[in-house]
């Protein structure tokens, strides 16, 4: 009943966000978003893509001159759109429409993921016997909520209107999560391979995707199921034998890592990646082949050659560091991302989706060329866990911080570049503040999630004791 | 058991967290102390001002002897005479005087060009506030018939590589050349004639004679736009196709083309190191020759302090000119400022008697002078409107000031005039020679400062303290209220974790309301854009329309968002809703003020003085009246008074009355003031619309909150 009532409202909001984007698209000169360092990085800028396409059309390597560093597939998809102009319309209208569509599709996928997660979560809560909680968790349609958060997030809107290709990268990440949640191994593999191909960092998402395929969507800690299982076994006075059997089976299923979808995922990954590599090698055949491609894309990402300012912290650091320490610090900073993978995977392996969210936050914090598009993705995913994170601390502080930093950053940039009264430290200060807020966000959300698990454990043990006494 | 847990948990709290908790729990006292300290620190600024000093060693002002001689002055006098004679011949068209200037320039072996421009009339561009200056603003409304012609002369430096330049600007109105303008041209000419033969010159000199018939600023700005950010095709099409009457412009150069010295195209001379705008006031100062310095550019930007320092040093020590910066005259006689000055003086005396090392305190009269100058410095920076044509240079990161020299007696006497020109010319020569020594652009000294006298300044490190003290209570009180609001939810231990009320997200509702108010602020700031399109309206009518449209848009916004303006009788758990609303209001105000302090410090300082008290005091009147103690009633009346005073138009009228007089003020004045703000793209306009107005409205909303 309530669901049906909410659906038109949901669609109005979705439509509203699309209309807002279309309105903003008509002020490209005035907003000038596509040249903002917060929006377009060397990897995501559409201007660079257009340049690469132009080079390709003139039979020069699209990677010549350190202008373009993205994927050749993106070049074939968006390149022709950058040169087609419609009379009387803004320059990159067709490209922007592609980004708007990508945003909406991502939002729909997030919505679907949210619904799947919610159904799975409430059923697993019911299995544990926590009926109150499972009803509570159904109150808030977290999928719709997350989709709207994603669509109406100013960061998403700015990235979309600012013609940043991060909308497509985000779409691929969400696609792989959706595929994994609904156990469609080919889809998950496609999303993962594409996301990795486009921006490299999503490669670390292979862990949560495998966990998702193996264990299924987020659930309470597994030991609770085991406890419950043993309790049910000892307590055979329950009347309905059939449903009991069924519940038992389900409880067992929750604990078992199923290898079949994982193997199929790996197989499909192999297939898709070889397919993409073949396509790419055909495209760059005359210009140095795959080796050149890897050097210009992944090499560019990993060695941080472009030190123009962005909202991350690495540009400043690598502008200051001595040349002979450069390699060392490159390893340190990239190792930093990898270092956190294993402990988090061990601690949060029963919540693979949340794990993916944490990974995305960490990678977008320590990325070599971060932009607001990355923040848009993880803030959208944060909405999926609205129920579990309802007791999160510092939420208000975080929101104020995000608002403050995102307004202060352009002002500091203006002070540095246009007025000349500030310097690079001014802008870097906002970048540090932004990184701090991201750290607080990830720390607080993980601790809120762990607290949520603790309360679940407490309730379960209390129930077990009640039954025993 | 529980007590044990508490005692074991307590020592683990880190000192910094404990300090934070202490501050938050004593937020009332802390905010009162901070606010008062902020006001006192603001009043202390004239005492804390430091003497200026020349920071860049390369400048070496006054190290060389002046080379400007009476010979140059007599040349200049001839030039002035020719100009004024031309004026007397009433038949002469304005073109003649420009021709004359160009002839004189080319006689000095300078490259001469004319720059034709179409004046741009102020228009409201809501999106042009923070765009870079070269984003291609093309005048569409410049009519063909009204155009101005600037004359530009360039001397190439014998020792330079043509990559740097110094600019001299003399605005004058070719239709009506006054004596002051003619003398300012004469001073520039005397310097120019000297520099045309100077062997030491390392930077090119541009003498820019601005056609000020459409305003000095627009002439300078349009030339600079062409100089720094040329537009390649669009304007050419406009001029050649639609304007056929540029014959007068063509006729202008005919005499000079033959010499081969006039250049038809636009000429450039490297990046500008600095620019000096020279003006001569016709009304003499009674006591001595004096020099007024105007430095404020748009949005409170100032030129590098070193530029002012050189001028100050040379004018005082070399030429014996009395140097002045703007003051708030009305403050000089105010009794309270004098009292404060006397208090500080006596405090300084006490401090010195305790320890002679403490050089604290200045004489009361000096304090009052400093405070009046500081107030005007704050006011003009805060207004965000440039105080002269030098403002146009700052948009391209060129340091520039206006020097207005006013003579002791009238300039009609030739002998007196010669001496005056010699003095002014030597000053300009010295300044140019100093800048000529400069190896990099000005960077050594301060960009962010307030002047308390020509030789004293308050740097950013000092003037940030009062502001920081003023706004420091805001986050503390916000945190206090927020923790209050979130902890007041009744918690039942039995329903542990089952609490469907999202405890820590309860503030979202208030945030939505605050967002609506701020959106309303944006709408209100954009409304004048549409009101401007209406033909034939008086300021008063515009203002009234604006008021109605604003109120109407607030209602519409509330209707769209589906958020009740006033909640009906609040239910029990929502009793403390106003605290959470107030906490969100205060934190947004804090963000807004901090942002503004980076964009334009002076606006933020003045704004903080106005808006912080009501933000801290606001509390529903109903609660205060119900309590019926004298304290609450006092607070309620304070709130009402502040709420009335802080409504932007009322605040404007009151401030205007305080500093000028109430005579002849009408509501249209506010519209005019606001119009001047947006015409100059002042960020103060945005501040008033997007930060001050919504914060004020939210405070009023809290005052009338039914709780």
Strand pairing category for B271-280 and B290-294 = unpaired
Q: Min CA distance, B544 vs chain A (Å)?
A: 30
Evaluate whether B655 touches B705 at the Cβ level (below 8 Å). no
Evaluate whether B640 touches B338 at the Cβ level (below 8 Å). no
**For range B589-594, the mean pLDDT:** 94
Residue pLDDT, tens place only, A284-342: 888 888 888 899 899 999 998 889 999 989 999 999 889 899 999 999 999 988 998 99
**pLDDT higher than threshold 80 for residue B8:** no
Q: Which two structure tokens, joined as six digits, stand for B404?
A: 């207005």
Q: Residue A215: which of A119, A360, A353, A389 has the closest Cα?
A: A353
User: For B538-600, where are the alpha helices, taking DSSP H only?
Assistant: 539-561, 577-599
**For range B434-447, the mean pLDDT:** 87
Its domain, for residue B574, covers 504-703
Choose one of B336, B366, B386: the last residue of a domain: B386
- Cα–Cα distances (Å) from A150 to A135, A368, A379, B469, in that order, read 25, 23, 7, 38
**pLDDT higher than threshold 60 for residue B489:** no
Co-location of B515 and B580 in the same domain: yes
Test B595 with A458 for CB contact under 8 angstroms: no
> Mean pLDDT across chain B, nearest whole number?
82
Contacts of A395 in chain B (CB under 8 A): 504-505, 507
Check residue B562 and give its pLDDT.
Answer: 67
Q: Min CA distance, B134 vs chain A (Å)?
A: 10
Give the torsion sign (CA, B647, B650, B652, B655): negative
Q: Min CA distance, A226 vs chain B (Å)?
A: 22
Could you tell me the pTM of the whole model? Answer: 0.89
| ipTM for the predicted complex | 0.88
> Which region among A145-154, B240-249, B401-410, B557-566 has the lowest average model confidence (pLDDT)?
B240-249
Give the torsion sign (CA, B74, B79, B82, B86): negative
Work out how many domains chain B is built from and give that number. Answer: 3
**For range B141-163, the mean pLDDT:** 77
Cα Rg for chain A, rounded, in angstroms? 24
Classify residue B488: in a domain, yes or no.
no
pLDDT band at B334 (very low <50, low <70, confident <90, very high): confident
Residue pLDDT, tens place only, A226-253: 777 777 666 655 445 555 566 666 666 5
Its domain, for residue A418, covers 2-468
DSSP string for A297-314: THHHHHHT------SSSH
Choose one of B432, B462, B492: the last residue of a domain: B462
**CATH number of the domain bearing residue B216:** 3.40.630.10
Co-location of B251 and B312 in the same domain: yes
Phi-psi region of B536 (alpha: psi -120 to 50; beta: other; left: phi over 0): left
- Cα–Cα distances (Å) from B109 to A242, B100, B151, B195, B197, in that order, read 108, 15, 15, 11, 9
Contacts of A133 in chain B (CB under 8 A): 497-498
Check residue B242 and give its pLDDT.
Answer: 47
**For range A156-169, the mean pLDDT:** 91
**pLDDT higher than threshold 60 for residue B681:** yes
**pLDDT higher than threshold 90 for residue A380:** yes
**For range B452-481, the mean pLDDT:** 92
Q: Min CA distance, B52 vs chain A (Å)?
A: 19
Co-location of B299 and B443 in the same domain: yes
Cβ neighbours of A337 (radius 10 Å) = 16
Classify residue B469: in a domain, yes or no.
no
**pLDDT higher than threshold 70 for residue B285:** no
Q: Residue A374: which of A389, A363, A385 has the closest Cα?
A: A363
Check residue A80 and give its pLDDT.
Answer: 87
Residues 6+ apart with CB under 8 A from B626: none
Work out how many domains chain A is built from and give that number. Answer: 1
Interface of B with A in 598-617 (CB under 8 A): 598-599
Check residue A194 and give its pLDDT.
Answer: 94
**pLDDT higher than threshold 50 for residue B140:** no
Co-location of B322 and B259 in the same domain: yes
Beta bridge pairs of residue B277: B169, B402
Using a CB–CB cutoff of 8 Å, tell me whether A35 touches chain B: no
**For range B494-508, the mean pLDDT:** 54
pLDDT band at A110 (very low <50, low <70, confident <90, very high): very high
> Which region among B30-44, B145-159, B428-442 has the lowest average model confidence (pLDDT)?
B145-159
Residue B341 CA to residue B372 CA, distance in Å, equals: 12
Q: Min CA distance, A444 vs chain B (Å)?
A: 12
Evaluate whether B610 touches B651 at the Cβ level (below 8 Å). yes
Using a CB–CB cutoff of 8 Å, tell me whether A149 touches chain B: no
Co-location of B84 and B228 in the same domain: yes
**pLDDT higher than threshold 90 for residue A208:** yes
Which of B128, B503, B584 lies nearest to residue A391, judging by beta carbons?
A: B503
Which of A404, A420, A452 lies nearest to residue B591, judging by beta carbons?
A: A404
Using a CB–CB cutoff of 8 Å, tell me whether B562 touches chain A: no
Co-location of B521 and B645 in the same domain: yes
Choose one of B386, B418, B435: the last residue of a domain: B386
Co-location of B379 and B282 in the same domain: no
pLDDT band at A92 (very low <50, low <70, confident <90, very high): confident
**pLDDT higher than threshold 70 for residue B277:** yes
Evaluate whether B25 touches B471 at the Cβ level (below 8 Å). no
Evaluate whether B323 touches B293 at the Cβ level (below 8 Å). yes
| Exposure letters A70-93 (e unless 16+ CB within 10 A, then b) | bbbbbbeebbebbeeeeeeeebbb
Classify residue B41: in a domain, yes or no.
no
Using a CB–CB cutoff of 8 Å, tell me whether A399 touches chain B: yes
Classify residue B127: in a domain, yes or no.
no
Classify residue B240: in a domain, yes or no.
yes
**For range A17-33, the mean pLDDT:** 82
**pLDDT higher than threshold 50 for residue B4:** no
> Which region among A25-29, A153-157, A174-178, B550-554 has the lowest average model confidence (pLDDT)?
A25-29
Which of A30, A407, A420 lies nearest to residue B127, judging by beta carbons?
A: A30
Residue pLDDT, tens place only, A254-289: 567 888 889 999 999 999 999 999 999 998 888 888
**For range B174-185, the mean pLDDT:** 85
**pLDDT higher than threshold 90 for residue A464:** no
Check residue B5 and give its pLDDT.
Answer: 41
Test A32 with B504 for CB contact under 8 angstroms: no
Check residue B117 and give its pLDDT.
Answer: 82
Residue pLDDT, tens place only, B287-321: 778 899 999 988 888 999 999 999 999 998 888 88
Residue pLDDT, tens place only, B78-130: 998 888 888 777 665 677 888 888 888 888 888 888 888 877 665 666 555 55
Q: Residue B228: which of B143, B135, B301, B141 has the closest Cα?
A: B135
**For range A374-379, the mean pLDDT:** 93
**pLDDT higher than threshold 90 for residue A157:** yes
Order of strands, sheet of B449-453, starting from the edge strand that comes earlier in the sequence? B50-51, B456-459, B449-453
Co-location of B177 and B299 in the same domain: yes
Order of strands, sheet of B164-172, starting from the edge strand that comes earlier in the sequence? B111-117, B148-155, B204-211, B164-172, B271-280, B399-406, B290-294, B322-324
> Mean pLDDT across chain A, nearest whole number?
87
Co-location of B541 and B634 in the same domain: yes
Which of A32, A399, A455 lies nearest to residue B135, judging by beta carbons?
A: A32
Residue B693 CA to residue B689 CA, distance in Å, equals: 5
**For range A181-193, the mean pLDDT:** 93
Most confident of A181-185, A437-441, B244-248: A437-441
pLDDT band at B492 (very low <50, low <70, confident <90, very high): very low
pLDDT band at B584 (very low <50, low <70, confident <90, very high): very high
Classify residue B175: in a domain, yes or no.
yes
**pLDDT higher than threshold 50 for residue B245:** no
């Amino acid at each position: 009943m309530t669901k049906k009532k909410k659906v038109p409202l949901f669609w109005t909001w979705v439509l509203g966000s699309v209309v807002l984007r279309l309105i903003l698209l008509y002020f490209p000169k005035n907003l000038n978003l596509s040249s903002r360092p917060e929006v377009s990085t060397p990897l995501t800028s559409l201007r660079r893509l257009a340049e690469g396409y132009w080079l390709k059309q003139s039979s020069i390597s699209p990677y010549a001159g350190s202008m373009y560093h993205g994927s050749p597939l993106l070049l074939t998809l968006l390149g022709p759109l950058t040169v087609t102009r419609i009379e009387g319309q803004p320059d990159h209208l067709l490209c922007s429409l592609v980004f708007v569509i990508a945003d909406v599709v991502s939002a729909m996928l997030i919505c679907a993921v949210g619904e799947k997660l919610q159904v799975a979560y409430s059923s697993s809560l019911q299995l544990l016997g926590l009926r109150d909680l499972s009803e509570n968790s159904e109150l808030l349609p977290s999928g719709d909520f997350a989709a709207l958060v994603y669509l109406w997030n100013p960061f998403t809107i700015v990235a979309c209107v600012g013609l940043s290709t991060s909308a497509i990268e985000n779409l691929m990440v969400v696609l792989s999560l959706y595929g994994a949640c609904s156990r469609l191994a080919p889809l998950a593999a496609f999303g993962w391979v594409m996301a990795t191909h486009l921006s490299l960092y999503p490669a670390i998402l292979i862990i949560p995707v495998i966990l998702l395929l193996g264990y299924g969507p987020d659930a309470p800690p597994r030991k609770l199921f085991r406890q419950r299982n043993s309790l049910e076994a000892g307590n055979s006075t329950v009347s309905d034998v059939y449903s009991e059997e069924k519940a038992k089976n389900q409880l067992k299923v929750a604990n078992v890592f199923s290898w079949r979808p994982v193997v199929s995922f790996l197989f499909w990954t192999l297939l898709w990646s070889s397919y993409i590599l073949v396509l790419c090698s055909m495209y760059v055949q005359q210009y140095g082949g795959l080796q050149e491609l890897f050097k210009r894309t992944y090499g560019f990402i990993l060695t941080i050659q472009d030190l123009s300012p962005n909202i991350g912290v690495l540009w400043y650091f690598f502008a200051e560091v001595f040349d002979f320490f450069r390699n060392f610090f490159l390893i340190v900073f990239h190792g930093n991302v990898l270092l956190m993978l294993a402990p988090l995977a061990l601690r949060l392996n029963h919540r693979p989706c949340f794990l993916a969210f944490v990974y995305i936050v960490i990678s977008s914090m320590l990325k070599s060329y971060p932009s607001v598009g990355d923040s848009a993705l993880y803030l959208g995913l944060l909405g999926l866990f609205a129920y579990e994170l309802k007791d999160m601390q510092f939420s208000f502080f975080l929101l104020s911080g995000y608002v403050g930093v995102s307004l202060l950053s352009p002002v500091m940039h203006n002070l540095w570049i246009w007025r000349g009264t500030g310097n690079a430290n001014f802008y870097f200060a906002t970048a540090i503040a932004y990184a701090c807020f991201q750290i607080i966000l990830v720390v607080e959300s993980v601790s809120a999630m762990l607290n949520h698990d603790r309360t679940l454990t407490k309730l379960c043990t209390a129930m077990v004791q009640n039954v025993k006494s | 058991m529980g007590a044990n847990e508490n005692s074991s948990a307590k020592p683990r709290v880190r000192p910094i967290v404990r300090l934070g908790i202490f501050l938050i729990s004593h937020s009332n006292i802390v905010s009162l102390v901070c606010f008062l300290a902020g006001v006192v620190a603001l009043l202390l600024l004239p005492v804390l001002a430091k003497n200026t000093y020349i920071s860049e060693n390369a400048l070496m002002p006054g190290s060389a002897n002046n080379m400007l001689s009476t010979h140059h002055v007599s040349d200049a006098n001839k030039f002035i005479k020719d100009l004024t004679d031309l004026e007397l011949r009433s038949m002469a068209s304005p073109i003649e005087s420009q021709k004359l200037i160009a002839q004189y320039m080319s006689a000095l072996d300078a490259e001469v060009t004319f720059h034709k421009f179409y004046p741009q009339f102020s228009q409201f561009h809501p999106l042009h506030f923070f765009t870079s200056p070269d984003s291609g603003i093309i005048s569409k409304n410049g009519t063909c018939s009204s155009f101005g012609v600037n004359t530009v002369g360039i001397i190439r430096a014998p020792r330079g590589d043509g990559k740097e330049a110094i600019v001299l600007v003399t605005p004058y109105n070719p239709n009506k050349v006054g004596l002051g303008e003619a003398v300012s041209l004469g001073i520039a000419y005397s310097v120019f004639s000297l520099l045309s033969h100077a062997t030491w010159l390392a930077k090119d000199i541009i003498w820019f004679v601005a056609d000020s018939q459409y305003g000095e600023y627009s002439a300078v700005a349009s030339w600079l736009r062409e100089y720094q950010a040329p537009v390649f095709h669009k304007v050419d099409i406009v001029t050649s196709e639609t304007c056929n009457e540029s014959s007068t412009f063509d006729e202008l150069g005919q005499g000079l083309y033959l010499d081969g010295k006039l250049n038809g195209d636009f000429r450039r001379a490297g990046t500008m190191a600095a620019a000096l705008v020279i003006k001569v006031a016709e009304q003499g100062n009674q006591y001595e020759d004096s020099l007024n310095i105007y430095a404020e550019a748009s949005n409170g930007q100032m030129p590098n302090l070193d530029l002012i320092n050189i001028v100050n040093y040379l004018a005082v020590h070399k030429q014996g000119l009395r140097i002045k910066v703007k003051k708030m005259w009305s403050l000089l006689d105010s009794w309270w400022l004098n009292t404060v000055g006397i208090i500080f003086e006596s405090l300084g005396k006490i401090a010195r008697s305790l320890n002679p090392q403490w050089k604290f305190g200045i004489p009361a009269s000096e304090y009052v002078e400093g405070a009046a100058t500081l107030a005007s410095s704050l006011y003009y920076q805060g207004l965000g409107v440039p105080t002269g044509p030098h403002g146009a240079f700052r948009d391209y990161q060129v340091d520039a000031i206006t020097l207005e020299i006013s003579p002791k007696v009238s300039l009609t006497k030739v002998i007196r005039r010669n001496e005056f020109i010699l003095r002014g010319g030597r000053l300009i020569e010295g300044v140019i020679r100093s800048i000529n020594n400069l190896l990099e652009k000005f960077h050594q000294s301060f960009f962010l400062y307030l002047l308390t006298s020509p030789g004293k300044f308050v740097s950013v490190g000092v003037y940030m303290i009062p502001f920081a003290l003023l706004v420091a209570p805001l986050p503390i009180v916000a945190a206090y209220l927020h923790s209050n609001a979130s902890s007041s939810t009744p918690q039942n231990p039995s329903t542990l974790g089952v609490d469907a009320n999202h405890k820590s997200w309860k503030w979202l509702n208030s945030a939505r309301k605050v967002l609506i108010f701020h959106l309303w602020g944006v709408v209100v700031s954009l409304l004048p854009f549409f009101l401007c399109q209406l033909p034939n309206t008086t300021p008063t009518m515009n203002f009234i329309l604006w008021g109605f449209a604003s109120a109407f848009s607030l209602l519409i916004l509330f209707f769209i968002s589906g958020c009740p303006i006033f909640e009906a009788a609040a239910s029990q758990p929502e009793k403390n809703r106003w605290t959470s609303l107030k906490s969100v209001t205060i934190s947004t105000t804090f963000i807004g003020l901090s942002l503004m302090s980076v964009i334009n410090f002076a606006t933020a300082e003045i704004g903080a003085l106005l808006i912080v008290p009501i933000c801290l005091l606001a509390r529903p009147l109903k609660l205060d009246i119900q309590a019926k103690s004298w304290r609450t009633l006092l607070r309620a009346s304070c709130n009402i008074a502040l709420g009335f005073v802080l409504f932007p138009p009322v605040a404007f009228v009151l401030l205007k009355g305080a500093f000028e007089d109430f005579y002849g003020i009408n509501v249209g004045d506010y519209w005019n003031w606001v119009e001047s703000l947006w015409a100059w793209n002042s960020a103060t306009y945005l501040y008033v619309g997007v930060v001050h107005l919504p914060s004020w409205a939210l405070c009023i909303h809290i005052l009338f909150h039914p709780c």
